[in-house]
Structure 1
Amino acid sequence: MAFYTIGEVAERCGINPVTLRAWQRRYGLLKPQRSEGGHRQFDEEDIQRIEEIKRWMASGVPVGKVKALLEESQLAVSDGWAALQEEMMLVLRHARPDRLREALTRLGHQHGADILIDRILLPVRQRMSLDQTTARAMASLLDGVLIDYAVLRIAEIRQNSTKEALLAGWGNQDRTRLWLEAWRLAERGWHIDVLAEPLESPRPELFPGQHFFLWSGKALTHSQQEQLSHWHQQGFAVFLHQA
């Protein structure tokens, strides 16, 4: 079995060694072996785990939540979620939008938005990104069906919702995830409308008196935190939406 130093892994994965140490010490994401001299030794499984961590974070998951997702994916085989994820993957490989909609509708009748999004849909999207042999067109097909389904569910729920709010993506270009989060908010009782274009500089002053949810999918930058505080000081009803 080949082992690699932290410097070699950092270069190979495009990650600063300081970050790798933080992932190990602060977040418990990595457990490299140690040489007789006490130096970290990484193997291929460690590198695969690092790449998976990077993909979760690139999809908008805060680093503090990655460990739980990694552990959930390991437990999925025993708790049945892996089977449902594989079912979705199998339907997707047939490249039939109608069958994909049918599977999604059936799962939607069995599970609420939180469960369906977190346990099935996001892991399937993650697996699509990990599968280098999967055509980009298949991932795009999945996203199109997910947006279509989320819009349908939002419209259905909206008929019985009275708490009106807007949702906008803040510095995150994942439009599919934005619509999934809108569906999540709708199931929590919000009559939700979506600003479909992700924004770098939201303008809540253009929507006076309205609840305004912002979704970034990751930890806010210092400037974003300052901007959020400034809006609150101005009296705007701006809230950070977190899954």
Structure 2
Amino acid sequence: MTLYSIGEITSICGINPVTLRAWQRRYGLIKPQRTEGGHRLYSEDDLSRIRTILSWLNRGVPIGQIRALLDGDITEPETVSIHASDRLLEALQLSNTDKLRTMLRDLGKDYPTRALVDTILRPLRQRLGGGGSQLLTMRALLDGVIIEYVSFCLNAGRKTRGPKAIMIAWGQIDRTELWLEALKWNEEGARVDVMQESLAAPYLQGLKAQHLVLWAEGRLTQVQRQQFLAWQVANLPVMLRGSAVRLTSFATSEIEEE
């Protein structure tokens, strides 16, 4: 029977050890075996169970409902992490930043980063960005706590031996989205630095990293596309992230026609 260490499981599933331990201790979702030295070992069944948990969380199911789903006690879960978002919103309404920080740290332990970002933080930011000075002020308060939390995670992540990644704000962007992208890279094992000041024409040749991640929003201009292609021709380790990926084509023929 194949058994996996916690390091192997985190590599296979893209989840950090802190979250795995929280699932075991706080929610009883998994029960790994132990070596004589006390190290966790996970079976194929555990691996399958972890993947099932991840699939539910990535669909927005609250962590508190996962045990009942796995046990078959409920079959129709909530499809959005409403409870977590509402708790964060309540702390924001009271301007209780200490509680907000504590809640975000706890959510970071319970949820894999992708689920935390895509099913809790981004939807909450969208709710607060609908207009009105009160909502926008609350969103700014939330953004400050998010960036503080991500900075803490990135600092811890730099102690690893993973590849170095530099996140670069290219043009006018939502800066918090850049930090959320950095958090995802951190969970994947990269040592991440963030350049959050928006740069129209960043000079990348002097940056030393395995990955130069350009975060851009909206359709790239022709100048930007030409610039990106020039970086690729120069064999710089560039990659594009943000809505510009979906909105911009890098077909050579398209550029030449324009």
CA positional deviation for 1:124:
0.6
1:183 corresponds in structure 2 to: 183
Letter of the 2:114 partner, please give it: D
User: Is 2:128 the partner of 1:128?
Assistant: yes
CA contact (8 A) 2:164 2:190 kept: yes
Show structure 1 runs of 5+ residues with no match: 1-71
Give how far 1:133 is off: 6.1
Whichever structure has more helix as a proportion of its residues is 1
Whether the 8 Å CA contact 1:208–1:236 is kept in 2: the answer is no
- Residues 241 and 190 of structure 1, relative CA distance in 2, 3 Å threshold: farther
Shift of 1:174: 1.8
2:225 match = 225
Give yes or no for contact 1:186–1:192 (8 Å, CA) kept in 2.
yes
Residue 236 of structure 2 aligns to a residue whose secondary structure is: coil
Cα deviation 1:123-158 (Å, max 9, x = unaligned): 111101125362543222111100000000111122
| Pair 1:241–1:173, CA change in 2 (3 A) | closer
1:160 is matched with: 160
Please give the TM-score of this superposition, normalised by the length of structure 1.
0.63
The code of the aligned residue for 1:192 comes to V
Q: CA deviation at 1:98?
A: 0.3
1:171 corresponds in structure 2 to: 171
Deviations 1:95-126 (A, max 9, x none): 01100001111111111211111111011111
Q: 1:235 — aligned with what?
A: 235
Which secondary structure does the structure 1 equivalent of 2:205 belong to? Answer: helix
Q: Name the counterpart of 1:199.
A: 199
8 Å contact from structure 2 (residues 163, 209) kept in 1: no
**What is residue 118 of structure 2 aligned with on the other side?**
118
Give the distance between the partners of 2:209 and 2:161, measured in 1 at CA. 18
**Mapped partners of 2:168, 2:80: distance in 1:** 33
Matched residues, percent identical? 31
Contact 1:85-1:121 within 8 A present in 2 as well? yes
Quick check: 1:209–1:236 contact (8 Å CA) kept in 2?
Answer: no
Partner Cα separation in structure 2 for residue 133 and residue 206 of structure 1: 41
Gaps of 5+ in 2: 1-58, 61-76, 244-258
What is the distance in 1 between the residues matched to 2:105 and 2:131?
25
Length-normalised TM-score, structure 2: 0.60
